[in-house]
Structure 1
């Protein structure tokens, strides 16, 4: 461990990341390396957080909040919608500049960005924009969006989260494939340097339309070891760290003098997706046996009651459309074994999972492995680097997929991406349906266009009931986001949550004297 932390400290100094007159922010992220830094492609938590500091959307959720009730203007200064909600017109600010020498941002850039976000050949989030009929520049700084049908939250698709990030057309076209490693946005911080498996360096955008940031540079360090990351924080070489999602981490780091800990919403829901096309998981009795073998109370205790909620439904608690009125499977080893016997497996079953080496997620999966073993369910885990994990599960290579995700907090997004047949991995319209679930397609599709709010809620509830009845997946826990930073760092906002799963580092962030 001494060698590891020593190497981290040496590399920090070598990178020139010592506190430069209180204007350099050192962040420790629990990942081995960057994934893809194109905001329309990036899907991992570490990448989404980093990109959050570089990009804007037409609208944004107020910094420090996560609820869609706190949407406010960003690049768009105002907007109007037609009475039927199918036509939206956005007036853009005229003082937004692209990073570097790529000029000012106008309606053409916004149209390019949203069309790119909706393009399945490019975007990981194209499915979200299926209801878009047209996106047009109706003025130099005016954009009009027309929808084929009403959707639960048009503004929710336009926040700088996933496809809502606005890119600069000239930069994307000039950089080509290099854009994945040289992201150009309009946000408070600009990409400066990437050192593989070490760090990404950002610098302040002097022309940011809300004012030049007080923090002048950020070193986003990749430190996958929880212990090494914690030691770097305790030594003062790291100002802000991504926390391990368990109670003991909170208790330990809170003892470090001058530390502020933030438990942020939305929580990432850990769900075990069961590939219903692969034996023995093609038998609902086996899937129900797995559900009975999961002790959620033990998992909450393991992860920490102050930072974890039990997950009941395939839609996370707190999302619009969530219901707890779903089939549940109480913890019972006896019932699990009986179901396996009925399914023709009296001696148990073996199931296999490809899994990320990310410590927080891996510890959850290892705890589940121990629980399942009690019911003669042998869970074999093949551990790979996080970016490789995402690549392989999207190629439909894993029988069991543990996915921890937060999405825009409306039931439609989660249901459509994880449980509609259009989203099945390995298909042309794939998103993240790792279980090949299709039992609630009718309800999910109908709810998406339902204009009566009560009927929409009931459709979402029925979809959740069907998914749980067939056990397409087993919800485990909802883990809130844990970060810590030195109390000399003032973020300028009260941090209650962040949709991008990282603290809001804006132009207002600064170090106190």
Structure 2
């Protein structure tokens, strides 16, 4: 595609040529607009189809091209900060089963595909719910009917109440709105030639080298202050770090390690540490004896010194967990308290359970640096209480496979999900999600104690009652010791001093600082 397809400023095109090294010289008469250069550390882009983009390197690019009906406020990953996006407002029936969205008028798709209409939204929702076309179909299985009332009104009828349905239509995963005409015309090529409504439009992709986006001057919030964005594929951490210090790139994905953060800041690099964190949990698999014994599970929890683990991970990048639901998630509740580190109590509990001489457990552990060192600390801590942990260290794929076949007594797992209690409790603590079950997800503990509350909360139309059910579920899971919450490992990005994101960065759902129409770069071009 050519720049002219998007009616992009000629100055932006000139900036791309200069900054990407694609042209030896550009006419001095052309004044360039700034172009932001980003490197996440990804090796390549897999797909830019928003219903298929699950990889780290894909999600950030997609978030600049597309919009949802609602959006997270720039710089926030808190669902309480949701704002109108393509929908200017919405309303629901009293039972929260029927939702009506009223669209903005005049919003234009990129590449001349015309005005966004209700038909595009209907098509997008049905596409997101189709497992043959979407990786997020499970999140939209509750759709009963989606219909266009007129060109700017969409009515959604759900199979069961969902007090938080607008969250599903946010600018994250399957919530993005696509052009029906563009998607049907491009077919399988849509993932390499995406068409959205966002502040930046797709221009070009070169495998394992770069992706170019150009400013969408017709963006409904106003023309961007940037001429565009270049995503460069730079795998080496040290190469990206050097490129930031020399102003060759403006934003980079950093290492989520305390030593890296301290070193980068010591070199004068601006480092942002933000949510959502990838929450680390130690699941206790009750399918493996003697972990079906509550006292044994309590003994394990008492033998783990979470504070020591957090100190190892680093105060800047790691945040101690206070519940089985990650910190900052809607409905997360710490009232049950954390497990108290007490080796003497751990030994006493083991003796009461019939194991005065201790126990031996077998666990499969990934060799990746984000897991193995933590599990070595856990191994040493458990040993002090008479719990011998035999670790089978394997590559990460093998670890995933064996853990999902109940071959590990203790499963160390890290994940980030949509930041509300429903998504987390459903995947990790509902017995329907237990390993080996027909609907298996990631319930490695085979926890079932809070099924009633988790399922009731999922269909509770009253938000306050929903919160109360989530709170009760967390207490019951805590008392049953299904897992030991450890810490959240936050996102780490670095930026040049000449970058102004246009907002305060506290969180970013797509694991990259959002680049908006207000983002600016003040450095001069080479």
Aligned to 1:235: 246
Native 8 Å contact 2:79 2:330 kept in 1:
no
**Residue of structure 1 aligned with 2:468, choices 458, 463, 479:** 458
Aligned pair partner of 2:491 in 466, 470, 481? 481
TM-score normalised to the size of structure 1? Answer: 0.82
Aligned length: 493
Give the corresponding residue for 1:295. Answer: 305
SS in 1 for 2:374: helix
Pairing 1:301-380 to 2, within 5 Å after superposition: 301-326=311-336, 328-332=338-342, 348-354=360-366, 362-374=369-381, 375=383, 376-380=388-392
Bigger shift: residues 80-89 or 160-169: 80-89
Decide whether aligned partners of structure 1 residues 126 and 472 sit closer, same or farther in structure 2, where only a CA change above 3 A counts: farther
Bigger CA radius of gyration: 2
Of 21, 40, 47, the match for 1:29: 40
In structure 2, the residue matched to 1:6 is: none
Shift in CA distance, 507/455, structure 1 to aligned 2, threshold 3 Å:
closer
Please give the per-residue CA displacement for 1:184-211, whole angstroms capped at 9, x wherever unaligned.
3221223334444444333333433323
Residue of structure 2 aligned with 1:410, choices 420, 424, 445: 420
Q: 1:398 to 1:243 in 2, by over 3 A?
A: farther
Root mean square deviation, CA, Å: 3.6
1:125 aligned to which of 125, 133, 136 = 136
Instruction: Identify the match of residue 116 of structure 2 among 101, 105, 112.
Output: 105
1:419 and 2:429 aligned: yes
Secondary structure of the structure 2 residue equivalent to 1:116: helix
Alpha-carbon spacing, 1:327–1:511, altered in 2? closer, same or farther (3 Å): closer
| SS of alignment partner, residue 363 of structure 1 | coil
Deviations 1:410-449 (A, max 9, x none): 2122212332234446766455445444332211011123
Question: C-alpha separation between the residues in 1 aligned to 2:448 and 2:225?
Answer: 50
1:223 shift after superposition: 4.0
Q: 1:503 aligns with which of 493, 506, 513?
A: 513
Which residues of structure 2 form unaligned runs of 5+?
Answer: 1-17, 27-31
Q: How far, CA to CA, are the matches of 1:121 and 1:74 in structure 2?
A: 27
Contact 2:434/2:447 (CA < 8 Å) preserved in 1? yes
Structure-2 change in CA distance of 1:148 and 1:42 (3 Å): same
Tell me which moved more, 57-66 or 79-88. 79-88
Q: In the TM superposition, what is the alpha-carbon distance from 1:240 to its structure 2 partner?
A: 0.8
Quick one: distance in 2 between partners of 1:95 and 1:144? 20
Q: Distance in 1 between matches of 2:52 and 2:403?
A: 13
Structure 1 residue 139, shift from structure 2 partner? 0.9
Q: Which range moves more in the overlay, 389-398 or 202-211?
A: 389-398
**Residue of 103, 115, 127 corresponding to 1:116:** 127
Name the CA distance, whole Å, in 1 between partners of 2:483 and 2:158: 32
1:204 aligns with 2:215: yes
Structure-2 separation of matches of 1:300 and 1:502: 24
Give, in whole Å, the separation in 1 of the partners of 2:399 and 2:216.
31
> 1:15: how far off?
6.4
The correspondence for 1:170, drawn from 181, 200, 205, is: 181
The 3 A distance-change label for structure 1 pair 16 and 491 is farther
SS in 2 for 1:88: strand
CA contact (8 A) 1:392 1:398 kept: no
User: d(CA) in 1 for partners of 2:497 and 2:470?
Assistant: 42
SS of structure 1 residue aligned to 2:395: strand
Cα offset, 1:277, TM superposition = 4.6
The 5 Å alignment of 1:253-272 reads 253-257=264-268, 259-272=269-282
Q: Contact between 1:18 and 1:24, CA under 8 Å: does it hold in 2?
A: no
2:354 and 2:173 map into 1 onto residues whose CA distance is 41
Q: Alpha-carbon deviation of 1:272?
A: 3.5
Q: 2: distance between equivalents of 1:370 and 1:424?
A: 27
Query: For residues 252 and 378 of structure 1, do their structure 2 counterparts lie closer, same or farther at Cα, with a shift above 3 Å needed?
Result: same
Q: Secondary structure at the match of 2:326?
A: coil
CA distance in 1, matches of 2:309, 2:361: 22
Distance 1:168 1:423, change over 3 A: farther
| Deviates further, 425-434 or 334-343 | 334-343
**CA-to-partner distance for each residue in 1:27-51, whole Å, 9 max, x for gaps?**
2224444455432233344433332
- Equivalent residue runs for 1:52-63 within 5 Å: 52-63=63-74
> 1:267 is paired with a residue of what secondary structure?
strand
Distance 2:151 2:428 in 1: 38
Deviates more, 1:285-294 or 1:445-454: 285-294
Q: CA deviation at 1:280?
A: 7.7
Task: Give me the TM-score of the superposition, normalised by structure 2.
Answer: 0.81
Alignment of 1:431-470 (within 5 A): 431-470=441-480
Q: 1:48 to 1:469 in 2, by over 3 A?
A: farther
SS in 1 for 2:223: coil
Q: CA deviation at 1:89?
A: 1.7
Q: Retained in 1: the 8 A contact 2:96–2:461? A: no
Aligned to 2:211, what secondary structure does the other structure show? Answer: strand
Q: Deviations over 1:142-194 (max 9, x none)?
A: 11112333323122111111221112223333444444444432212233344
- Aligned mates of 1:56, 1:448 — CA distance in 2: 26
Q: What displacement does 1:224 show?
A: 4.5
